[in-house]
């Protein structure tokens, strides 16, 4: 069960357009964790990838659209739902 | 003549500059670059006998003081002691916008909440129980569509009422 859910965890950077995911963890420093948190990106929140231009990604979180750079998207761990 | 000092705080693109312009009537460009209000914008307007000085604070998502904008906004509210802080919330992104408003309320300063872009929220099927929200926040709420001037006269009336409450 545990390994099952661990297998589904991946960086947001690898999620394709249209997929629904749940935020598991932001693996970054306090500054980025706080900054993303204040924009609504907190553990457990659900989001959907709206756009992916190969670099930045646009996601829909809590009725807001937020654009995230590739580096940041790599630091956000999510699970598919 | 009486003088009132107010500051406008809110998320980027919530409509702070639009409300600032609607109040002061100054011709400033309101663009769509997130976080563009990094400089300090000040304006003055007259409400009868009352002269109101307004400062448009930089758009921030929090007051955590992690970015220059957040430091400017936090320090201004804490050090300059404005008589009233207007927090502007984008009604169509209420959940995210509430975070900053609650942080401003937690500073213990007098707050007047603007629920802006209620037309956009309505078009997305979002209806907001303003009375309950006002009770929960313990602060008056004014509904506005700043880009169309809706609610601006109500805002001015609320500012006058607040100023009268100070002197009474």
DSSP states of B81-100:
--SEEEEEEEGGGHHHHHHH
* pLDDT 10s digits, A9-56: 999 999 999 999 999 999 999 999 999 999 999 999 999 999 998 889
Residues near A51 by beta carbon (within 8 Å), at least 6 away in sequence = A17, A57, A58
B82-106: average pLDDT: 95
What CATH number should be reported for the domain whose range is A2-80? 2.30.30.90
Asked if A64 reaches chain B (Cβ–Cβ under 8 Å), the answer is: yes
More confident residue, A1 or B76: B76
How far apart are the C-alpha atoms of B42 and B57, rounded to whole Å? 9
* pLDDT 10s digits, B59-70: 999 998 788 888
ipTM above 0.85, yes or no: no
How far apart are the C-alpha atoms of B102 and B87, rounded to whole Å? 10
pLDDT, residue B113, reads: 97
**CB distance B16 to B10 below 8 Å:** yes
* B-chain residue closest to A65, CA distance: B93
* pLDDT 10s digits, B108-152: 999 999 999 999 999 999 999 999 999 999 999 999 999 999 999
More confident residue, B40 or A27: A27
Tell me the pTM: 0.84
Q: What is the average pLDDT score of chain B? A: 88
* B-chain residue closest to A41, CA distance: B96
pLDDT, residue B72, reads: 84
**Where does A1-81 show beta strands of DSSP type E?**
9-11, 20-26, 46-52, 57-61, 64-68, 76-80
Extents of the domains making up chain A: 2-80
Asked if A40 reaches chain B (Cβ–Cβ under 8 Å), the answer is: yes
Binned at pLDDT 50, 70 and 90, residue B75 comes out as confident
Binned at pLDDT 50, 70 and 90, residue A6 comes out as low
pLDDT, residue B35, reads: 46
Name the nearest CA neighbour of B12 among A37, A54, A66, A31.
A66
Homologous superfamily in CATH for domain B2-167: P-loop containing nucleotide triphosphate hydrolases (3.40.50.300)
Q: In chain B, which among 32-91 make CB contacts under 8 A with chain A?
A: 61-62, 64, 66-67
pLDDT, residue B81, reads: 93
Alpha carbon distances (Å) from B17 to A33, A44, A50, B85: 28, 33, 28, 14
Asked if A17 reaches chain B (Cβ–Cβ under 8 Å), the answer is: no
Q: For residue A64, which residues of chain B lie inside 8 Å, CB to CB?
A: 93, 96
Q: For residue A63, which residues of chain B lie inside 8 Å, CB to CB?
A: 92-96, 124, 126
pLDDT, residue B38, reads: 64
């Amino acid at each position: 069960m545990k390994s099952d859910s661990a297998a589904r965890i991946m960086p947001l950077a690898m999620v394709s357009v249209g997929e629904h995911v749940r935020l598991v963890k932001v693996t970054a420093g306090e500054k980025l964790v706080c900054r993303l948190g204040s924009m609504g990106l907190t553990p457990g929140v659900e989001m959907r990838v709206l756009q992916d231009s190969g670099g930045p990604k646009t996601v829909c979180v809590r009725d807001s659209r937020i654009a995230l750079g590739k580096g940041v998207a790599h630091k956000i761990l999510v699970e598919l739902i | 003549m009486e003088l009132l000092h107010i500051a406008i705080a809110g998320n980027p693109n919530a409509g702070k500059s639009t409300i600032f312009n609607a109040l002061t009537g100054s011709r400033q460009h309101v663009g769509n670059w997130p976080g563009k209000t990094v400089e300090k914008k000040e304006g003055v307007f007259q409400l009868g006998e009352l002269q109101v000085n307004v400062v448009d604070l930089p758009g921030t998502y929090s007051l955590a003081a992690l970015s220059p904008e957040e430091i400017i906004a936090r320090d201004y509210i804490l050090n300059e002691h404005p008589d009233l802080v207007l927090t502007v919330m984008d009604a169509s992104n209420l959940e995210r916008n509430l975070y900053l408003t609650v942080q401003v309320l937690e500073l213990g300063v007098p707050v007047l909440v603007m629920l802006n872009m209620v037309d956009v929220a309505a078009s997305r099927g979002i209806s907001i129980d303003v009375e309950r929200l006002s009770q929960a926040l313990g602060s008056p709420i004014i509904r506005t569509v700043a880009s169309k001037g809706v609610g601006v006269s109500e805002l001015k009336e609320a500012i006058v009422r607040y100023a009268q409450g100070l002197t009474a």
